[in-house]
Amino acid sequence: MNLTLKDTILVASYYLDYADNVKDTISYNISPFTGKEVVELEDMFLAEKSKTVKKGDSFTIKLVFVPENAGNINIVWESSDQSVATVDRFGKVTAQSAGKCVIKARTEDGKFESTCDVTVLEPTIEDFIRVGVSGSIINVDGLILSANIIASFYNGSDKMVQVDRVEIYDTMTNKVIWQKENCGNVLKEQSLEYKLMLNSVYRPLLIWHYTSEGKKYEVECKM
């Protein structure tokens, strides 16, 4: 047996002599770190071929190797336009500005590569609105026996939002059990809250209706 070093892999070669004077050589790539055979990569691809995100979002693209146990793989990540989206050495993509770009993953030796088309959109007002419910709720199989809660509407945008109406539905009867109109304006990074007490309501659904720059929206919150 002969051992040689190729990059970071040990190549173990066995020389075989057969009875009929036929000679043969069998070689194995062995990791010097694990002592196990290194399986050669046959193919690789990105799990997603296209992705649409909002400016400021981040996500990680999964890289699939064939076979799964292939080893000694060095991956280089690239973005065709870093002003639109950047990518780090772990495949984490961060959207920088509206536009389109291509994220590429390739092996260091250039034998394999795969790409993902990324579209970055500007966020809308809906991306900055947060609603929620906090407090004490006694719930039995979807029936709210009693609840002492605070319903909140938060405007995380830099625009003023007008809350036109907020209402709570009993989803079994589809009837409005509580409603408030002309709730007022919510400035940027400000909240609007209501303290409420509910009794015998089935899976209540809270809906906020609001207007921003002349366009109407609504957002739901389940309890």
Beta carbons of 142 and 202 less than 8 angstroms apart: yes
Residue-wise pLDDT for 150-209, tens only, equals 999 999 999 999 999 999 999 999 999 999 999 999 999 999 999 999 999 999 999 999
CATH number of the domain to which 99 belongs = 2.60.40.1080
What is the pLDDT, as a whole number, of residue 38? Answer: 67
129 and 162 in a single domain? The answer is yes
Of 95, 121, 147, the residue at which a domain comes to its end is 121
Count of domains in the chain? 3
State the residue range of the domain holding 114.
43-121
Residue 127's DSSP bridge partners are none
CA distance linking residue 171 with residue 112, whole number of Å:
54
Query: Do 191 and 215 share a structural domain?
Result: yes
Residue range 70-111, pLDDT digits in tens: 777 889 999 999 999 999 999 999 999 999 999 999 999 889
Do 129 and 204 share a structural domain? yes
Q: Find the CATH number of the domain harbouring 174.
A: 2.60.40.1470
Checking 33-40 for CB contacts under 8 A at 24+ apart, the result is: 38/9, 38/71, 38/72, 39/67, 39/69, 39/70, 39/71, 40/70
- Residue 117 shares a structural domain with residue 140: no
Give the number of other CB atoms < 10 A from CB of residue 90. Answer: 10
